[in-house]
């Protein structure tokens, strides 16, 4: 595999684990304030991010690339109120979309069609992640300021169950 593409994917493993860590911090915040639905939502989100990391990990393994596991940064966020994680989440997903696009551009440049095909799934996934994050903000703005609305929204998020990623390597 091309050295630059392999390096970017190796970095992405770390970024996805960081995403998991960030969302676990959000889950931690909501757990502490008693919003167990939001806590559940982000705990599952963290699980998905670990899956993303492992998909990239497995892809490099399958292509006989030596993987380097770097240190995972401490979650960089200040969670001042119940809206803060939602906004930080959307900002983070936009950043991750950029990272995926960067890897895609590198793969495209050297006609690495196999990696482009892998990344097609992630490009679509990022579209969904950004939409979910944005929808959550909208719902919070609409209903979150009222105690009953917040209770209902919390109940909705509590119903989320984990499903494994649709991509199989
Ligand atoms: Mg991800």
Structure confidence at residue 168 (pLDDT): 85
Distance 146 CA to ligand 1 centre (A): 31
Please choose, from the candidates 22, 29, 75, the residue with its C-alpha nearest in 3D space to the C-alpha of residue 46.
22
Please list, in sequence order, all residues whose beta carbon lies within 8 angstroms of the beta carbon of residue 105, skipping any fewer than 6 positions away: none
Q: What is the pTM of this model?
A: 0.96
Whether the per-residue pLDDT at 101 is higher than 90: the answer is yes
Distance 50 CA to ligand 1 centre (A): 8
Please list, in sequence order, all residues whose beta carbon lies within 8 angstroms of the beta carbon of residue 30, skipping any fewer than 6 positions away: 36, 38, 39, 42, 82, 85
Distance 1 CA to ligand 1 centre (A): 22
Residues 110-158 pLDDT 10s: 999 999 999 999 999 999 999 999 999 999 999 999 999 999 999 999 9
User: In which region does residue 65 sit, left (phi positive, over 0), alpha (psi from -120 to 50) or beta (all else)?
Assistant: beta
Whose tokens are 């401490």? That residue is 74
Distance 147 CA to ligand 1 centre (A): 32
Please choose, from the candidates 93, 70, 81, the residue with its C-alpha nearest in 3D space to the C-alpha of residue 22.
93
As a whole number, the mean pLDDT across the chain is 97
Distance 129 CA to ligand 1 centre (A): 8
Whether the per-residue pLDDT at 3 is higher than 90: the answer is yes
Distance 57 CA to ligand 1 centre (A): 13
Distance 152 CA to ligand 1 centre (A): 27
């Amino acid at each position: 595999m091309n050295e630059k593409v392999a390096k970017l994917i190796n970095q992405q493993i770390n970024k996805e684990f960081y995403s998991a860590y960030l969302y676990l911090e959000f889950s931690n915040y909501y757990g502490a304030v008693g919003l167990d639905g939001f806590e559940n939502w982000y705990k599952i989100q963290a699980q998905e991010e670990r899956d993303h990391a492992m998909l990239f990990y497995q892809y490099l393994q399958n292509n006989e690339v030596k993987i380097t596991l770097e240190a995972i940064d401490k979650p960089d966020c200040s969670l001042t109120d119940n809206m803060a994680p939602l906004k930080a989440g959307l900002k983070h997903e936009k950043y991750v979309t950029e990272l995926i696009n960067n890897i895609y551009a590198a793969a495209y440049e050297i006609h690495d069609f196999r990696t482009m095909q892998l990344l097609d799934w992630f490009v679509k996934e990022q579209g969904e992640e950004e939409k979910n994050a944005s929808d959550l903000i909208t719902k919070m703005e609409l209903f979150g300021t009222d105690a009953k609305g917040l209770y209902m929204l919390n109940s909705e998020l509590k119903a989320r169950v984990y499903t494994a990623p649709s991509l199989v390597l």
